[in-house]
Chain A
Amino acid sequence: MNPTDHSNSSDQGFFGKFAGTQATNEFLKGLWRDNPVFVQVLGMCPTLAVSNSAINALSMGLATTFVVTMSNMLISLLRNFIPKQVRIASYVLIIATFVTIIDYAIQAISIDIHKSLGAFIALIVVNCVILGRAEAFASKNPVGYSILDGLGMGLGFTFALFCIGSVREILGSGSLLGFNFMPEAFEKWVIMVLPAGGFFTLAMWLLIFNGYKLKKASHE
C-alpha cells in the first residue's frame, strides 16, 4: 500500500475545493479506503475485546486517535534527528508517553470508563496501527500530513469500533450508548457481548464493507 497514493478523488462533492488535494487524501484514506480495521485488518485485539458496548468502543477509538495523531506529529518532527538504528525504540517510547497521557486524561474524565477499559488502555502501546503509521508514514512525511494521516487513521479506527460496538450492544444488551430502547419482549443475545460475538460482528461488517467495495468497483 502506498501511503502517498492520491489517486482517489471520489469525495470531491463534500470537500469542495479541498477535494483531491494531498491533505484531504491523507485524512480520508484512513477513514474509508485504507480503514485500519475493515481494510488493513490491524489492531484486532482491542477491536474484538473492547467493542462489547458502544461507549467502550468510542472511548477506546478516541484514545487511540489521540495517541496515533500525537505520536505521528512528534515522530515526524523528530524524523531527521532519530538515527535509523534506534528508530523503533524511539517510536515505542513516544507512543508509550502519549498512552500514559491519555491514561491520566481518561481517569480525569471518568473513573468508570477507565475501569471498563481496564488493561486495554496500557495495551494501546502495542496497537500495530500506531507503530505501523509511525514507521510507514510519519517517519517519511512532513508534520502536517502526518497529523492528518494519524487523525484519519484514528477516526477510521473509531468508526470501525463504533460500528462493531453498537451492533453488539443493541443485540446483546438491548440498548445503545446506555439508552434502552428495545421492547421489553426483546430477548437479549448474550453471546453478542461475549468474545464470540465480537468475531461474528466483525465478520458481518467485513462482509458488508467488502461487498460494497466490490459492487462499487464492478460498476466503475
Chain B
Amino acid sequence: MTEMQQNEGNTRGGDKKMLIAMSVIGIICAFFIVITYQGTLGIITKNRAEALNKAVYKVIPGISRIQPYSLSKDKSFSVVGPDDKSQQKVFAGYDSTGTLKGIAIQASGKAYGEVLSLLYGYSPAEQKIIGFYVLESKETPGIGDKIEIPPFLDNFKGLDVSVRDDLSGLKNPITTVKQGKKTKGWEIDGITGATITSRGVGNILNTSAGEWMPLICKNKKSFEMQNTEKK
C-alpha cells in the first residue's frame, strides 16, 4: 500500500468518525429539546394566555370585563370561552356598566428582527386605535425596543383607522413617517435609528386593521348584543 493510499484511508476514517460524532451529538441535543418542549408546553401556553389577558386591559383603558369572540367562516363573530384555541379571535372589553369600550386584536409580522407580535385596542365608536402593546419582540435591544416606550406609544392615543362607507377597507392606509413629520391622524411618527422597526409596526397595523376593521364595523352590533344578553 502506497503512502497516498494510506493517507486516503485515514482521511475516510476521520470523516466517518466526525460524521458519527456530530450525528450522535445532534440526536442527544434533539432529545433534550423535545423533552423540555413537551414538559413546558402546558405551562407556557397558560402563562401566555394570562399575559394576553393582562395586555387586553392595557390596550383598552377603563374596562372591567373582557369577552373573547371568534370569527366564523361566514365572517360573523360568536362568543367563545377563554380556552378557545381559535386563531381568528378578538377580545371585546366592557366597562362596569356593560358598555363596549373597545376591541383588542392581535397582529404579527416582520420588522427588523424575527416576527414581531403586537396587541392593539380599537374603539368602534371613535374608529381609532386607542392602545398598543408589544407581546413578543426580538428587535435590537436599545434600538428596536424603543417601540415599547413613549414617545412612540403616543402615536396610539387615537390613531385614525376610519373605514370606507362601503366597508371595503380603510379610508386612509396607516403609514409611518419620519420622526416629527406626522401631520395626519392616520400617520405614525417613526423613530430615528429604528426606522425599519417603526415602519414594520406601521405595516403590521395597516394589514391587520385593513382586514379586521371592516369586519368589526359590519358586526358591531353583535358585540353589543352579546353583551346585553350576558347582562
Binding site for B on A (CB under 8 A): 49, 74, 78, 81-83, 85-86, 89-90, 93-94, 96-98, 100-101, 104-105, 107-108, 110-112, 115, 118-120, 122, 195
Q: How far is the CA of A212 from the CA of B190 in the complex (A)?
A: 48
Q: Given A81-B21, A94-B25, A118-B141, 17 other A-B contacts at CB below 8 A? A: A49-B142, A83-B14, A83-B18, A83-B21, A85-B14, A86-B22, A90-B21, A93-B29, A97-B32, A98-B32, A100-B36, A104-B36, A105-B36, A105-B40, A108-B40, A110-B47, A119-B138
Instruction: Give B28-47 interface residues, CB cut-off 8 Å to A.
Output: 28-29, 32-33, 36-37, 40, 43-44, 47
Contact (Cβ within 8 A) A82 B37? no
Count the A-B residue pairs with Cβ separation under 8 angstroms: how many?
Answer: 72
Contact (Cβ within 8 A) A49 B25? no
Interface centre among B14, B26, B40, B48 (most CB of A within 10 A): B40
Among residues of A, the one whose C-beta sits closest to the C-beta of B32 is A97
Q: How far is the CB of B113 from chain A (nearest CB, A)?
A: 7
Q: How far is the CA of A122 from the CA of B137 in the complex (A)?
A: 12
User: Given A49-B142, A85-B18, A90-B22: A112 and B51 within 8 A (CB)?
Assistant: yes
Number of B interface residues, CB 8 Å?
Answer: 30
B145 within 8 A of A: yes
B136 within 8 A of A: yes
Interface SS majority for chain A: helix
Interface centre among A98, A118, A195 (most CB of B within 10 A): A118
Q: How far is the CB of A202 from chain B (nearest CB, A)?
A: 16
Binding site for A on B (CB under 8 A): 14, 17-18, 21-22, 24-26, 28-29, 32-33, 36-37, 40, 43-44, 47-48, 50-51, 113, 136-142, 145
Contact (Cβ within 8 A) B26 A93? yes
